[in-house]
Amino acid sequence: MPEKMKLHHIDGSTADIDAIDARRVLREHPSEWATSAFPADVQKKAQEAAKEKRLTILKIKTSGRPQHEIDAALAEIEELAQLEKADADKAARAGKKADDKKG
């Protein structure tokens, strides 16, 4: 049976993942996943951002706009989220490299 690792998500949830997959997740998404819990204020901020995103999506879906406009708005929200996540991951990797050089 593969070795498991417990990972902590920025929103406070946890996941037990095969170690090889967990290492890939940590490498590719360092701003979103960690081997120890994120600080409570960071978790709360992530939970609030997720709630706000869900409310925004709900408002768009119930706006009565034509489906193609809804689809375009949802795609734009997702694209923005992916760009923000990529920027955060890049910054987290840069911070880790700087910490590695110090140690």
Nearest Cα neighbor of 72 from 82, 61, 86 is 61
**Residue 61 belongs to what domain range?**
4-102
Residue 78 tokens, joined = 């997702």
Rounded to 5°, angle at Cα 16 from 43 and 40: 15
pLDDT of residue 78 exceeding 70, the answer is yes
Q: pLDDT tens across 25-66, in order?
A: 999 999 999 999 999 999 999 999 999 999 999 999 999 999
pLDDT of residue 103 exceeding 70, the answer is no
Number of domains, the chain: 1
Q: pLDDT tens across 34-44, in order?
A: 999 999 999 99
Cα–Cα distance for residue pair 3/97, rounded to 1 Å: 26
pLDDT of residue 95 exceeding 90, the answer is no
Cα–Cα distance for residue pair 78/60, rounded to 1 Å: 13
Name the pTM for this structure: 0.74
- Residues with Cβ < 8 Å from 21, sequence gap 6 or more? none
Nearest Cα neighbor of 26 from 7, 12, 10, 44 is 7
